[in-house]
């Protein structure tokens, strides 16, 4: 078996036995195809420690890729070589003796503030009235534009209210929404399911009204969110929708679904919600993944304390 065949067999293994999401499988495939292209250009037929070291130099020096990208590529290759070993295609794992350290720059992820979210909601209303309070004000002749407005608003509010991933959002079916218990069943990574909650009556009413507009699109699928043509929404469609929404609201950046997920986690922790509850809401397998949001939350708290602490007023009184 050659390297190309081994990669194809490994990708089939991921789809058939690991229940990886489409996004994760696509990322693995892209990483391994890149490694295969490099291997072919070097005339190297097999995976070895020296070959991996050359590939690392190629990524970091020749192509100057971001450290996080380099580390992801190596994680993919580590999984691949572990499978090669367990399948008997190699007799020893090159990562046993090849252990590079990739230093990552810790960056605070960008996410919309409460004021940004307010501007987003107002952008889909009229005369300063939030759109969720005036969603029925459109005439039938405005059907397509009105529907897109409602779809955008539902998307923003659901992502922020629940903290779900964009892939989880587009996978929600009509039967997953339970208005009696105000919950939505989410089909997460690795076929793990969890419930998220609709936090207020306003969002429930918005969803109910959206469903009446959704029926007018003559949908040909049973997913909750559908395009104006009645088709299932894709993750790229949702990203474009949010990008257009941020432009309409006059935000100085392009809004992404993950930004709303970051905002949901951070604002919940700042409000005092237990980190275990936030972990469950976001669908994190490990609490350490959720803990990174505590650093963002702490930074926000520290900024407010530094700005509002009475010590400044006391010192100014002493100086006077």
DSSP state letters, the chain: --HHHHHHHHHHHIIIII---HHHHHHHHHHHHHHHHHHHHHT--S--HHHHHHHHHIIIIIS---HHHHHHHHHHHHHHHHHHHHTTS-SS-GGGT-----PPP--PPP---HHHHHHHHHTTSBTTB-GGGSTT---GGGHHHHHHHHHHHHHHHHHHHH---HHHHHH-BGGGEETTTTEEEEE-GGG-EEEEE--SHHHHHHHHHHHHHHHTT--SS-BS-B-TTSPBP-HHHHHHHHHHHHHHTT-SS---HHHHHHHHHHHHHHTT--HHHHHHHHT-SSHHHHHHHHHHHHHHHHHHHHHH-THHHHHHHHH-
Which one of 51, 165, 262, 267 is the catalytic residue?
A: 165
> Known catalytic residue: 261?
yes
Which one of 189, 194, 232, 280 is the catalytic residue?
A: 189
Which one of 150, 261, 262, 267 is the catalytic residue?
A: 261
Which one of 89, 232, 258, 280 is the catalytic residue?
A: 258
> Known catalytic residue: 258?
yes
> Known catalytic residue: 150?
no
> Known catalytic residue: 284?
yes
- Return the active site residues: 165, 189, 258, 261, 284, 293
């Amino acid at each position: 078996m050659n390297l190309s065949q081994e990669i194809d067999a490994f990708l089939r293994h991921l789809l058939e036995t690991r229940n990886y999401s489409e996004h994760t499988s696509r990322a693995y495939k892209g990483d391994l195809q890149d490694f295969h292209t490099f291997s072919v250009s070097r005339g190297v037929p097999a995976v070895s420690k020296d070959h991996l070291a050359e590939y690392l130099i190629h990524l970091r020096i020749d192509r100057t890729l971001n450290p996080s990208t380099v580390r992801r590529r190596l994680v993919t290759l580590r999984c691949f070589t572990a499978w090669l070993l367990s399948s008997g295609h190699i007799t020893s794992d090159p990562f046993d003796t090849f252990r590079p350290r990739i230093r990552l720059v810790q960056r605070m992820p960008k996410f919309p503030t409460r004021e940004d979210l307010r501007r987003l909601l107002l952008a889909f209303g009229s005369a300063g009235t939030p759109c969720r309070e005036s969603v029925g004000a459109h005439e039938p002749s405005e059907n397509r534009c009105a529907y897109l407005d409602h779809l955008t608003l539902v998307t923003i509010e659901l992502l922020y209210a629940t903290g779900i991933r964009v892939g989880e959002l587009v996978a929600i079916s009509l039967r997953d929404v339970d208005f009696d218990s105000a919950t939505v069943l989410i089909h997460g990574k690795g076929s793990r399911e969890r419930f998220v909650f609709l936090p207020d009556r306003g969002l429930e009413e918005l969803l109910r009204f959206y469903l009446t507009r959704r029926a007018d699109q003559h949908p040909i699928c049973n997913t909750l969110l559908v395009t104006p043509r009645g088709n299932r929404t894709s993750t790229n469609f949702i990203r474009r929708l949010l990008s257009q929404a941020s432009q309409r609201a006059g935000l100085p950046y392009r809004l992404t679904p993950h930004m709303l997920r970051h905002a949901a986690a951070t604002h919940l922790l700042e409000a005092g919600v237990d980190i275990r509850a936030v972990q469950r809401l976001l669908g994190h397998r490990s609490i350490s993944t959720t803990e990174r949001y505590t650093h963002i939350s702490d930074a926000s708290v520290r900024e407010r304390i530094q700005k509002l602490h009475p010590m400044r007023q006391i010192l100014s009184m002493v100086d006077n």
